[in-house]
């Protein structure tokens, strides 16, 4: 009955590799997000999708490519991984429509370590 889930929870890989992180929400929300939390705990939005359409695309290297096959899933693919990509990546979702809560529900995070 997990609301927002991510896989994997931990990811250790070498520089130059390509990796993906998957996110799924069973809350029926239309909007999903990817955040990056660096070693200093700073939370910064990377992307947002609304009903499979890319809405927010922050200044993120184009090695990062989000994909939303349906509104319950948002994946993040990272090409040519670099040391600076090491961080915790959080997926989140929020409900839709007037009168809905503005709360964003976060997944458990994926700790990516690039060596």
Partner 1 sequence: GENVEQHPSTLSVQEGDSAVIKCTYSDSASNYFPWYKQELGKRPQLIIDIRSNVGEKKDQRIAVTLNKTAKHFSLHITETQPEDSAVYFCAATMNSGGSNYKLTFGKGTLLTVNP
Q: Which residues bind partner 1 (CB under 8 A)?
A: 29-31, 40-45, 48, 50, 55-56, 90, 94-98, 100, 102-104, 106-109
Q: In the complex, what is the shortest distance from the CB of residue 8 to partner 1, in angstroms, rounded to a whole number? A: 15
Number of residues that make up the chain: 115
Give CA–CA dist 70/30, Å, rounded: 10
From the number of C-beta atoms within 10 Å of its C-beta (0-12, 13-18, 19+), residue 80 rates as: exposed
Would you say 53 or 82 has its CB closer to partner 1? 53
Give CA–CA dist 78/62, Å, rounded: 9
Would you say 15 or 27 has its CB closer to partner 1? 27
Q: In the complex, what is the shortest distance from the CB of residue 18 to partner 1, in angstroms, rounded to a whole number? A: 26
Would you say 15 or 100 has its CB closer to partner 1? 100
């Amino acid at each position: 009955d997990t609301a927002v889930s991510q896989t994997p929870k931990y990811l250790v890989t070498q520089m130059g590799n390509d990796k993906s992180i998957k996110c799924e929400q069973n809350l029926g929300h239309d909007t999903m997000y990817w955040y990056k939390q660096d070693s200093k705990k700073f939370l910064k939005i990377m992307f947002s999708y609304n009903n499979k359409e890319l809405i927010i695309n922050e200044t993120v290297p184009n090695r990062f490519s989000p994909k939303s096959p349906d509104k319950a899933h948002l994946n993040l693919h990272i090409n040519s991984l670099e040391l600076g990509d090491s961080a915790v990546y959080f997926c989140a979702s929020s409900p839709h429509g007037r009168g809905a809560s503005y709360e964003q529900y976060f997944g458990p995070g994926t700790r990516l370590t690039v060596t």
